[in-house]
Amino acid sequence: DAGVIQSPRHEVTEMGQEVTLRCKPISGHDYLFWYRQTMMRGLELLIYFNNNVPIDDSGMPEDRFSAKMPNASFSTLKIQPSEPRDSAVYFCASTSTSGSREQYFGPGTRLTVT
Amino acid sequence: AQSVTQLDSQVPVFEEAPVELRCNYSSSVSVYLFWYVQYPNQGLQLLLKYLSGSTLVKGINGFEAEFNKSQTSFHLRKPSVHISDTAEYFCSLTGGGSYIPTFGRGTSLIVHP
């Protein structure tokens, strides 16, 4: 398997623009997680899905953030409008309930909002 | 509620010296424990895990960790580090029937020549 795939790897945008981050989990994994990593706040869980259904989005910082999982092989995290404080590395991870609970992380998307 | 505490934010060490990265946890249910490593500009990858059985678990790159239930600890060790071990290390747990992990803040291991 190719592992968790994220795109783009780097995104530079101006404040106020819409940003969409994409994730393809490992095939057969039934949990998908979105994280944000910054120096100040460390690794934060934003939202997670189970069988494509959002279960807990209490980590989403504001209404400007939204996430969808239209099918088992694709998820998006959208920020609209983006702000400089959204600059961070965003990770997608997946895991399987038939496995040993370890998380498989993608390479991340480094977002810079100017 | 569950929590993970990594007591050291940064651990500097010389090459070929031993190292221990500390992790303590709190949970009211049985736990599954993990150590992940994050190299610069990469995602986290699994180093080792404790699910049950032997309390000493071995992982990749010569790392090992010991689960100590009485001290609620899961410290990571390596007898001799290399420059290439310079990275961020995260301790994590899931508890009971949950698949939702709790991560520590991470420990930056800096190996000097």
pLDDT per residue over A67-79, tens digit each? Answer: 999 999 999 999 9
The residue of A36, A40, A41, A43 whose CB has the most chain B CBs within 10 angstroms, and thus the best one to mutate to test that interface, is A43
Q: Are B48 and B63 in contact (CB under 8 A)?
A: yes
Reply yes or no on whether the pLDDT at B15 is more than 90.
Answer: yes
Please provide residue A48's backbone torsions phi and psi, each rounded to the nearest 5 degrees.
-140, 155
- CA–CA gap between residue A82 and residue A38 (Å, rounded): 16
Reply yes or no on whether the pLDDT at A41 is more than 80.
Answer: yes
* Helix (H) / strand (E) containing A90: strand A88-95
- CA–CA gap between residue A11 and residue A86 (Å, rounded): 12
> What's the confidence (pLDDT) of residue A2?
81
Identify the closest residue of chain A to B96 by CA–CA distance: A101
Q: Enumerate the residues of chain B whose CB falls inside 8 A of the CB of residue A95.
A: 99
Q: Enumerate the residues of chain B whose CB falls inside 8 A of the CB of residue A111.
A: none
Reply yes or no on whether the pLDDT at A8 is more than 80.
Answer: yes
Are B43 and A106 an interchain contact pair (Cβ–Cβ within 8 Å)? yes
CA triple B46-A69-A92, angle to 5 deg: 25
Q: Enumerate the residues of chain B whose CB falls inside 8 A of the CB of residue A101.
A: 32, 34, 49, 51, 94, 99, 101
> What's the confidence (pLDDT) of residue B96?
82
Average pLDDT over residues B73-84: 97
The residue of B99, B107, B108 whose CB has the most chain A CBs within 10 angstroms, and thus the best one to mutate to test that interface, is B99
The residue of B46, B47, B60, B100 whose CB has the most chain A CBs within 10 angstroms, and thus the best one to mutate to test that interface, is B100
State how beta strands B24-26 and B3-5 pair: antiparallel
Instruction: Say which residue the tokens 């977002």 belong to.
Output: A111
> What's the confidence (pLDDT) of residue B29?
85
Please provide residue A2's backbone torsions phi and psi, each rounded to the nearest 5 degrees.
-80, -5
Q: Which of A100, A74, A83 shows the shortest CA–CA distance to A13?
A: A83
> What's the confidence (pLDDT) of residue B18?
98
Return the number of other C-beta atoms located less than 10 Å from residue B30's C-beta.
11
> What's the confidence (pLDDT) of residue B97?
83
Going by pLDDT thresholds of 50, 70 and 90, the confidence category of residue A100 is: confident
Window 60-89 of A: residues touching B by CB (8 A cutoff) are none
Reply yes or no on whether the pLDDT at B78 is more than 90.
Answer: yes
- CA–CA gap between residue B83 and residue A15 (Å, rounded): 39
Q: Which among B43, B51, B105 has CB closest to A108?
A: B43
Reply yes or no on whether the pLDDT at B87 is more than 90.
Answer: yes
Are A43 and B94 an interchain contact pair (Cβ–Cβ within 8 Å)? no
Q: Which of B63, B86, B60 shows the shortest CA–CA distance to B76?
A: B63
How close does chain B come to A61, measured CA to CA in Å? 18
Burial of A94 from C-beta contacts in 10 A (0-12 / 13-18 / 19+):
buried
- CA–CA gap between residue B2 and residue A6 (Å, rounded): 29
For the ranges A21-30, A45-54, B18-27, B96-105, which has the lowest average pLDDT? Answer: B96-105
- CA–CA gap between residue B93 and residue B103 (Å, rounded): 7
Reply yes or no on whether the pLDDT at B107 is more than 90.
Answer: yes
In the DSSP assignment, the letter for residue A82 is -
Average pLDDT over residues B29-55: 93
Average pLDDT over residues B53-77: 94
Reply yes or no on whether the pLDDT at B53 is more than 90.
Answer: no
Reply yes or no on whether the pLDDT at A1 is more than 80.
Answer: no
A12-24 confidence digits (pLDDT tens):
999 999 999 999 9
Q: Are A36 and A90 in contact (CB under 8 A)?
A: yes
> What's the confidence (pLDDT) of residue B54?
87
